[in-house]
Amino acid sequence: MAAKPKLHYFDGRGRMESVRWLLAAAGVEFEEVIFETAEELQNLIKSGKLLYEQVPMVEIDGMKMVQTRAILRYIATKYNLYGKDLKEQLLIDMYVEGMRDLYDMIMFLPLALPEEREKNIIFITEKATQKFFPVYEKVLKDGKNYLVGNQLSWADVHLLELILMAEECKSDILLAFPKLQEFKARVSKLPRIQKFLQPGSARRPPMDDAGIEAAKKIFKLEKGMFLKYSSTILAEF
């Protein structure tokens, strides 16, 4: 029996959350190696296992993979979530790359200063409802159940993850997008996705104050330097 994929990261969403989502959608069980201190991260870096001295890292099929999108493409391809041909793969990449812009704004929101939070939420909401969600609403208006082709793909999994994150910022953010509402309800009911959405799964909650403090110590971050100047990201974790 092949070994389970092993995910190396801290105990939070960050870049690894999309990997958790995609593996769950593929029905793949995985293990997690969680580091809790900056020293543990530095030890992993000193081991020489991190190509760019950055996490996330996923051990799978005898490889130690880094760089989130490379990891996700490998998983999507391996588990038939990356379209049936080059054209579908291109569309999936286009949609996913667009989603990443909005995803990063939301992911770094907990690291903004308290006095900047409301302004950032307004900015995120405007970008979501005026630039990004209209794209996916239009694609789904053609009577399609999925963004690309006639089966679930990486793009669909990432879109549902993004929608749920956006709703954490503004609960009625899908109010003007009936097709996205239908998409959310439909994909959430897929057995593997539904299982991942249940309490007790590997899905991580939004970062709370304790999680933020832990991330700051592990990655030596400075709160307030992450979402400024209309979504310019000044640090990564």
pLDDT tens by residue, 132-174: 999 999 999 877 899 998 899 999 999 999 999 999 999 999 9
State the CATH architecture for 86-190.
Up-down Bundle (1.20)
Assess contact for 148 and 98: CB atoms under 8 A.
no
Q: Give pLDDT tens digits for 51-88.
A: 888 899 999 999 999 999 999 999 999 999 999 999 99
Q: Pick the range with the lowest mean pLDDT from 72-81, 97-106, 113-122, 153-162.
A: 113-122
pTM, entire model: 0.90
Assess contact for 25 and 146: CB atoms under 8 A.
no
HEC string of 111-123 equals HCCHHHHHHHHHH
Task: Look at residue 144 in the predicted model and tell me its pLDDT.
Answer: 85
Q: How far apart (Å, rounded) are the C-alpha atoms in residues 186 and 42? A: 42
Q: Give pLDDT tens digits for 9-47.
A: 999 999 999 999 999 999 999 999 999 888 999 988 898
Give all strands (DSSP E) within 4-158, no chain letters: 6-9, 31-34, 57-60, 63-66
Task: Look at residue 50 in the predicted model and tell me its pLDDT.
Answer: 84
Task: Provide the CA 25 distance to its chain's centre, in angstroms.
Answer: 13
pLDDT at 117 over 90: no
Domain ranges in the chain are 86-190
Q: Give pLDDT tens digits for 191-233.
A: 999 999 999 999 999 988 888 888 888 887 665 444 444 444 4
SS3 content of the chain, % helix, strand, coil (to 5): 55, 10, 40
Residue 203 zone, left/alpha/beta (φ > 0; ψ -120 to 50; rest): beta
Amino acid at the residue 213: E
Q: 150: which 2 tokens?
A: 């006639």
Q: 79: which 2 tokens?
A: 């588990």
